[in-house]
Structure 1
Amino acid sequence: MIQLTKGRYRARIAQSAADLRAAQNLRGLAFHGGQARDCDDFDDLCEHILVEEVGSGTLVCCFRFLPIPHGREISSSYSAQYYELSSLEDFDGPMVEMGRFCLHPDWTDPDILRIAWGMMALYIDANGVELMFGCTSFTGTDARDYYDAFAMLKARHLAPTRWLPRVKAPTVFRFAQRLRRKPDAQAAMLRMPPLLRTYLMMGGWVSDHAVVDAQMNTLHVFTGVEIAAIPPARKKLLRAVAG
């Protein structure tokens, strides 16, 4: 079983129904203010990663992986509910969809993110993953709050044409079409979600539109990271954490 311990924290794969409930409870706290557990039909298909504080056993972070053998099965992913992904059906290598990433709102130690990314690196290496993808969320549904961030995504980080997702969701913000502004780089990075910033530093790319998800109160973009394209220095850093 893949497991990683660094300092105060341990990352591991969920092994029981109780582990899954703990992850769903944390997601409910992070996404819905603790009003209810966050769960869906994909939970039973995924492997769930738990990051715990070793001393107390407190669950401080969780996310899930949905393994996909090749692009021909990408229509079975969570993201395919919101994006038309037929362009990725020609991707031959193993994929993994990463989703429902969340942190406990009372825990802000940056080492939590470091061990989470170290665990991702371990999982990707152990399973020969060639593409990691998912929906990356901005809080709230008012795109005006993120114009500089979206302008930056348009200018520097759009998916290659051969992989570009097309519109499927009923309500979207087509930032690549609508925005004509030059991004303010500082404002853009301040408004960019931390998870997306990390993807972009690894050479990640995004869809040309954001889906408006009223149920989750988010805007989200499809995000892909081709493992072979991650800059060598970034790979070395991730593997150092994983080692």
Structure 2
Amino acid sequence: MSIASVLIPSEKPRGPVTNDAPGPHYSLLLSTDEALIEAAQRLRYDVFSSTPGFVLPAAVDGRDADRFDEYCDHLLVRDDDTGELVGCYRMLPPSGAIAAGGLYTATEFDVRAFDTLRPSLVEMGRAAVREGHRNGAVVLLMWAGILAYLDRCDYEYVTGCVSVPIGGDSTGQAPGSRVRGVRDFVLSRHRADYRVHPRRPVRIDGKSLDEIPAPKRPEVPALLRGYLRLGAQVCGEPAHDPDFGVGDFCVLLAKHHANTRYLKRLRSVAAASAL
């Protein structure tokens, strides 16, 4: 695999006749380049530190970095008009997981249920999109990139953690209420056959999720909604990540169960809206 290669090029036409087309041209890069990884770490820090409800642990030099980054392939969305990095993901392949001593997800969950999947299991994580580019096109490109990565590298499954802030919000919800609502919704409709178990279950002021009032309507994060529409399922109760102040849900997507029609439809809508 090259240090940096274009996994999905921009679909917008380029050239003298078309370079006045509205909106940016996005490409998806697959990279292990150190400079690009550092740029992704800075983007992650900027996004996470400005997201309400999230609490970042101490960062080094304005970067969100951990020991797993060096073992990952990084999916990076570039604005081709400016060269700016506007979105990022990281993918930890089976060989990388072995070198890293396991999955990041395994730091939060007992993932022995995934043992039979390990030779074909990739872990995704640390998704971030720069403010000003959150119109859906960048996230959509990253979703397409996940499936393209699985195809390119001949893997079948992808797993990862999706975060829901623990803290209450401006509507007066109790801390943990949003996590409770999301938990009830996803496990009633999108429960996976593979079950993992949180090493640190969510507890707020000594109360379990079952003891925290559920909201009138679940507020499912956009990222998790997208995964569910793609065909992902949730593998059990959430884990408490105190470093970020969130409840993390472990999701699993099998490539052969992916809703590719949904993805193609969204890509067509995005392309048409850019013309």
| Shorter-chain TM-score above 0.5 | yes
TM-score (norm 1): 0.83
TM-score (norm 2): 0.74
* In structure 1, C-alpha distance between the alignment counterparts of 2:106 and 2:213, rounded to whole Å: 30
Contact map agreement 1:151 1:183 (CA 8 A) in 2: no
Within a 5 Å distance, the mapping from 1:128-207 to structure 2 comes to 128-141=154-167, 142-160=175-193, 163-169=194-200, 171-172=201-202, 178=210, 187-188=217-218, 191-207=219-235
Larger Rg, first or second structure (1 or 2): 2
Amino acid at match of 2:86: V
Residues 238 and 126 of structure 1, relative CA distance in 2, 3 Å threshold: farther
Structure holding more helix per residue: 1
Amino acid at match of 2:148: L
Deviation at 1:146, TM superposition (A): 3.8
Identity among equivalent positions (%) equals 24
Does 2:131 correspond to 1:105? yes
Within a 5 Å distance, the mapping from 1:88-103 to structure 2 comes to 88-91=114-117, 93-103=119-129
Residue 108 of structure 2 corresponds to which residue in structure 1? 82
Residues 232 and 16 of structure 1, relative CA distance in 2, 3 Å threshold: closer
Contact map agreement 1:132 1:225 (CA 8 A) in 2: yes
Residues 26 and 92 of structure 1, relative CA distance in 2, 3 Å threshold: closer
Within a 5 Å distance, the mapping from 1:1-243 to structure 2 comes to 1-6=5-10, 7=12, 8-33=25-50, 36-68=62-94, 76-91=102-117, 93-141=119-167, 142-160=175-193, 163-169=194-200, 171-172=201-202, 178=210, 187-188=217-218, 191-231=219-259, 233-234=261-262, 237=265
Number of residue pairs aligned between Structure 1 and Structure 2: 234
Q: Which runs of 5+ in 1 are unaligned?
A: none
